[in-house]
Amino acid sequence: MNFLIELQNFITYCNDFYNIEYGVYPIATSEEIENAIGEYLTSPHEVDIQFDSFDREQVREIIGR
């Protein structure tokens, strides 16, 4: 699958969970979520990014700092 499509789907996925207006766990704005995703993607990783629930939870950790 195309990386940009996967990334857009991951942004939507994180927003569905964490967006302050409509997320299941409303903790951040869309901008804060996208900034956290950017930080996560540019940080070193021991395993490949799969854009899955593990990665989503890592983004949540960044938001919560």
pLDDT digits 0-9 by tens, 43-54: 999 999 999 999
How far is 2 from 49, CA to CA, in rounded Å?
Answer: 14
Q: What is the pLDDT of residue 4?
A: 94
Q: What is the pLDDT of residue 51?
A: 96
Q: What is the pLDDT of residue 37?
A: 98
Q: What's the predicted TM-score (pTM) here?
A: 0.93
Return the domain boundaries, the chain: 3-63
Q: What is the pLDDT of residue 1?
A: 66
Q: Which residues of the chain have pLDDT under 70?
A: 1
Give the C-alpha distances (Å, rounded to integers) separating 50 from 7, 21, 29.
10, 26, 23
